Amino acid sequence: MFAGIVINALKGKWGFVALGFLLGWAWLAGAIRLAKPDSFWARRWYGLEKMQRARERFAEAPGSTPWGATAGETDFECKTCGAHVKGYAAAAEHMESQHPERDLVDLHEVMVPSK
């Protein structure tokens, strides 16, 4: 890709150079599309929904969940009402529907993993 850009630059084809950079950035954006949930990138830029997706994605690797659980799907117990929910998505949904007054920033603060 960069060789192509250089060649186009040498040939004065600046339109292609610009396009090359744009495509390069698009590719780069795709590569970092879903950052690890604990990464600076995720903490800085991800909202709750995307953070949940990142957690689910990276939770598939054994031992990589925030609690060290091995399964991708974790059951939770709601700290507020004690309800049992299955999985990250359901836990987030429970908070949104049952406890909308809670400003849900981090699921760990309102849910405890259960078996």
Residues that bind Zn ion (CB under 5 A): 78, 80-81, 83, 98
Q: Which is nearer to Zn ion, 83 or 90 (CB)?
A: 83
User: Which runs of consecutive H residues, i.e. helices, occur in 1-115?
Assistant: 2-10, 14-31, 40-45, 48-59, 87-98
DSSP secondary structure letter of residue 81 = T
Q: Torsions phi, psi of 75, nearest 5?
A: -85, 145
Q: Which is nearer to Zn ion, 17 or 78 (CB)?
A: 78
Q: Minimal distance in Å, beta carbon 70 to Zn ion?
A: 25
Q: Minimal distance in Å, beta carbon 62 to Zn ion?
A: 29
Which residue sits closest to Zn ion, CB atoms considered?
78
Close Cβ partners of 1 (under 8 Å, ≥ 6 residues apart): 20, 23, 24
Q: Which is nearer to Zn ion, 10 or 81 (CB)?
A: 81
Q: Minimal distance in Å, beta carbon 93 to Zn ion?
A: 11
